Chain A
Amino acid sequence: MANHHTSSNRLWILGLIPLAFAAYFFLQLEGVASGQFLQFSIPWVPDLNVNFSIYIDGLSLLMSLLVLGIGGLILIYASGYMAGNAKIGRFFFILIFFMIAMLGVVVSDNIFLLFIFWELTSISSFLLIGFSHESEKSQKSAQQALIVTGLGGLALMAGLIMLGYIGGSWELSELLAQGQFLDGHPAFPAVITLIFLGAFTKSAQFPFHFWLPNAMAAPTPVSAYLHSATMVKAGVYLLARLYPIFGGSDTWFFTLVIIGGITGMLGGWLAWQQKDLKRIMAYTTISALGILVFLLGVGQKIGTEAAVLFLFVHSLYKGALFMIAGSVDHETGTRDVTILGGLRGKMPLTMVAVTLATLSMAGVPPLVGFVGKEVIYEATVENVDYRVWLTAVAFVMNFFNVAAAAAILYMPFIRSQPADTQLELDHTHEAPWTMWIGPLSLGILATLSFFFVGSELFSGQLIQGATEAVYGKPAEIKLYALPPALTIVPILSIFTIVGGIIFFAVQGRLIKAARAADAAVSRFGPESGYFAGFDGLLAGAASITLFVQNGKLRRYVLYVVVSFILFVGLPLFLNFGALSWRLSPPPLLYELIVSAVIILATLMVTFARSRLAAVAALGVVGYGIAILFLYFNAPDLAMTQFSVETFTVILFVLVLYRLPAFKAITSPAGRLRDVIIAVLAGGFMAMLVLLVTAVPQSQHVIDYYAQSSYPLAKGQNVVNVILVDFRGFDTLVEISVLGVAAVGVYALIRRGVIRGLSRGERGES
């Protein structure tokens, strides 16, 4: 991509639309901050309690501003970054689709509407990670991200349904107004677990964090927008949103502080070891998401305030940094920090932007990141019970961020290019305007925010409005650009920055050992677990399928008979004592004889050593049944049965010589199994028949036939009248069945036998 310049196309104009919307939202700030929330609702699927309802309070407004503002800058950026790519139209389409979905997530009032948009962000993320669709890495990463976030999404769906069901409302505004209504409810652990699963997978919390660095396979504008500034914040947003319901419980505090803390520290630890600019940023994003979750766990007014402020701070600097990483890649052809250097003079505007962004990341004045870090420390220091622990965790997380910020600023930009690399940077120059305007704007915004941090607009409306929405109660926010008094907090800040820079200076010596340690641990890490679990699942699925669907008809028939025993036999067996039997009158002699013949013939079929014997024995069974028909006064049925049996035997004998040799293919054990199954199934069927005869049968239909047959239908044979009149329709359809069968036989003979069975593809097995 180095020196690859295509004249910027006009797609950047699209970026102005979200910016215009952002401006509109910005104008609403004062009203929303004073409690005039924007609301709108129309029913969508009332039977499922889904309304298209929008509710914009301080938190939604802050998120919307980030989604639209950064989104607009990203679109402008992407018009430069993707210039010359043949699929740029598709790219913009999905990106804008995502933007709308993300906006939907943060403004939805109805919890299911929120969920719908939530899923749409996952799908657009899938399409964008897999944008370079022919690369196997993209395919794998896209699939992984979709599965991890999709799994969380399903858990979230269940959690939201339960939340709304218990709360008696499906609108967030109404649920939140009820406060901590779930406390003490037996379903509380289930609901909170399911919702945590949704939020943690989406926001890449440990142990689900691994999909996020892999998502960097997406084009850089996507990484900047979805996987840093907005989509991954959806989980954080959801947690913040539900703070009034769950916040304050011990489960909430410990889960979020521990998971957030681990994520924050782990992300930081992994970040400094990376060589790829985008991967450094991916891990610091994980770290930042951890910090946010951690802060929401700490909770209370100051914790939620810190979370809201840091959310804002992080989106600004990380969005900028990702765009810068893309610009570096675009202009130099690499993102490897170990071989880059000396870009400060070649890309001066980008240099300004990266300086502002990294300083904000490191928490150095005069950037708003400094204030963010101060408030984080205030939040941990104010916690009475766990002050030391929380502060220590926050310190570690911040400290790594400083080190990473130093690396991003120093290695590609400030230092001269290392002498021993092959990379040739002489002709590298500044990126096109579309690509520096975004990072520079965000950097300037971070600076302005610092200087106006105490203003009514910033702290009184933007941050206070969002904090009150999270905290659920009025909260007076006062922010100071520089600490008004020298407490422990600014001292911690100074230590963090100094410590981070010292660490960065010596990290070169640690990096080998650290990577080796990581490699050793990662074999037991969650990503290995994901692959092992998923591959294991697929392997299990394949072997179960092979067992169940083994291609053998006799196996399938076996399943049917066994199912008969399970379906029909089991209830009889379970309630055997409660069954009511009727002792039938003792059988007459001829009944006994005919039955004995039928049973003997049946046994003969199973023992027969040739097909002919089996067919003959089957014929005997049929004749026996026909004789029974005769005894029960049904001569026409008996006649039919006699003819069918006779023809069957004759037909069979005719084709017998064409059939393959008769072989016993089952083992003795298999035959024993079959005997048991057959006897059980037959036994239950016989039982059922006996049971049925114990129930007195209603005679109203039979009586009607007997009485009406002659007077109404003019027929003396009731059976005939039933067949051709009372139920003549059945007969009509049955005749059609015969017609169809005839067509089938004709076609099979003409096409199947003559045109050759040998043609065709492989069969099932």
Chain B
Amino acid sequence: MIISWPILAQFFTALFCLFFWARRDIQRILSLVGSFAALASAIGLLLQVQEAGIQVMQLGNWPSFAGIVLVADLFSAIMVLITAFMGLMIALYAISDIESGQEAFGYHALYHFMLLGVTGSFLTGDLFNLFVWFEIMLVSSFVLLSLQGNRPQIEGGMKYVILNMLASLTFLSAIGLLFSVTGTVNMADIARQLEVVAPQYPTLIIALAMMFTLAFGMKSAVFPLFGWLPASYHTPPTAVTTIFGALLTKVGVYAMIRVYTLIFNQLDTLNYTLTALLLISAFTMVVGVFGAVSQFGFRRLLSFHIISQIGYLIMGLAVFTVASIAGTIFFMVHVILAKAALFLVSGIVKQLTGTNDLKQLGGFYNNNMALSMLFFIPAMALAGIPPLSGFWAKFAIIKAALESGSYWIVGVGLFVSMLTLYSMVKIWTYVFMRARPEAYDKPLEPMAVNDRWLRWTPTILIGGLTVLMGIYAGPLMALSTEAAEQLMAPAQYIGVVLGGAG
């Protein structure tokens, strides 16, 4: 079944990398080949889902509610595809970016274990299985984060691991409590049970929904639970920051979208939970962007932006219409690309200058036009400037919110969008427009030819996609809308997973 291929590709790549522990050259090739296989199977999966509808695989052939099921609807398939694509791109970049010291301690295996966790999270139809995927994601990301073992990494890693363990604890408790109510951990089955239970016990179900929100909120770094993210994301090598920034928080958002559209979608509870989500999104957007405009570290600034953009995603979820969810899906893919492109540029800047401190940088508009454009385009995409990807993403969510009458959140969203633009202009001014301050004006580090193409290829491809996504926004938005329609009409999902009789 093609649905398991993206998982198997990552799993066996990781495993084989462990087998060749001492052979870095083989690991590199394995990593690229495995990533490529994952990408190919992800494309196959998306095509299959488009062609034949929601795909289900019952592991061990047990009935869905008793065993574990893998489920791929359009939303899952899109997320798996973007994961596999980013996986391949960063695998390429990493060859230049990751020191041999880290490769010697299993970097490539850890990388694919992490991608395995991400991919699995997108494909599982089982709540407890989702927890297990979160675990492997957490452990492998923690090790990747602290693999160089220097002080800031250990310090950031501690915060990262402890706060994420708290999230796991919350998640696990919530699963337990929900199991006690529904007697099952299969998501479709839970949904079916809650159709009966939720109207009888609305407050209890609201509290449980909010507990999942808390757990996934920590994972996706919403206000005020994001402390771990800015504490740690600027410490590892660029490749690691990039893949983290692109994917990890999005898994949390994915999970939130999944449980709200599939499980906690009863009118009795949505009134409360969606208002809560709207508030969370507002605070997350504002506090995140406030953090961003206050930073003078290239990567720290971008890290705070992750938080702010998560707020936008939650806003799209909270508006809870087909149009807003479609906007959220589009936004998610866009922000993965745009943010990754910017992180990769920050990595190139760091390699050329040895620093990520805005105050010590400058001069690139003068001496490196290509790099300037490579920053400027995704930066403008992130700020929502048309016709790049970010414009459509922002526009879709704002439009959906206005049409559903959520006026105040639109005001907040637009204000945040303004500050986002400002913060991008800030980087542009410091790193590119102005001349490099004399005190720091030393010649750029030379870049080997190999390094150059390993770093520039993914950066150009990812950055270029923010342009293509803008131009081809029509078909992509249509795909997002189709995915959103599936999410907002969960009967189909439940039917496919549990079978007609159930």
Contact = CB atoms under 8 A, between A and B. Distances in A.
Interface in B176-192: 177, 180-184, 186, 189
A364 interface: no
Given A161-B398, A545-B291, A740-B110, A729 B60 contact: yes
A27 interface: no
A574 to B, nearest CB: 8
Given A572-B207, A698-B184, A729-B68, A747 B149 contact: yes
Given A119-B386, A165-B403, A572 B203 contact: yes
Interface string B128-155: 1100110110011011001111111111
Interface of B is mostly: helix
Interface stretch (A40-48, A171-179, A330-338): A40-48
Contacts of B106: 743, 747
B425 A697 contact: no
A529 interface: no
A448 interface: no
A150 interface: yes
B98 interface: no
Given A48-B396, A158-B402, A734-B132, A688 B429 contact: no
Contacts of A560: 163, 166, 214, 218, 225
A740 B227 contact: no
Nearest to B124: A729
Given A48-B392, A697-B182, A688 B207 contact: yes
Contact of A146 (B116, B200, B403, B421): B421
B488 interface: no
Contacts of A692: 177, 180-181, 204, 208
B66 A567 contact: no
A662 B144 CA distance: 30
A747 B287 CA distance: 36
Interface string A153-172: 01101100110010000000
Query: Most chain-B Cβ atoms within 10 A of its Cβ — which of A50, A549, A553?
Result: A549
A377 B151 CA distance: 75
A699 B291 CA distance: 49
Contact of A700 (B59, B132, B184, B435): B184
B463 interface: no
B63 A704 contact: yes
A103 to B, nearest CB: 15
A728 B201 contact: no
A670 B173 CA distance: 28
A158 B409 CA distance: 12
A652 interface: no
A540 B287 CA distance: 11
B435 A567 contact: no
A354 B173 CA distance: 80
Given A134-B434, A752-B154, A120 B386 contact: yes
A688 B326 CA distance: 34
Interface string B190-223: 0001000100111110111011011001100001
A695 B128 CA distance: 21
Chain A interface bracket (under 10, 10 to 19, 20 to 34, 35 or more): 35 or more
Interface string B445-475: 0000000000000000000000000000110
B224 interface: yes
Interface in A718-757: 725-730, 733-734, 736-737, 739-741, 743-744, 746-748, 750-753, 755, 757
Contacts of A575: 202-203, 206
B65 interface: yes
Nearest to A572: B207
A548 B308 CA distance: 14
Contact of A549 (B272, B291, B365, B399): B291
Contact of B149 (A161, A544, A757): A757
A44 to B, nearest CB: 6
Contacts of B402: 158, 161-162, 165
B183 A564 contact: no
A184 to B, nearest CB: 19
B386 A116 contact: yes
Given A568-B207, A568-B211, A743-B105, A704 B65 contact: yes
B387 A761 contact: no
B385 interface: yes
A698 B182 contact: yes
Interface string B368-388: 010000000000100001110
B171 interface: no
Given A161-B402, A575-B206, A688-B207, 5 more contacts: A123-B385, A564-B214, A733-B132, A759-B151, A764-B152
21 contacts: A43-B474, A123-B385, A133-B365, A133-B434, A143-B422, A155-B414, A161-B403, A538-B293, A545-B290, A555-B227, A557-B163, A563-B224, A567-B210, A567-B276, A570-B210, A688-B177, A688-B211, A698-B183, A704-B65, A741-B143, A747-B106
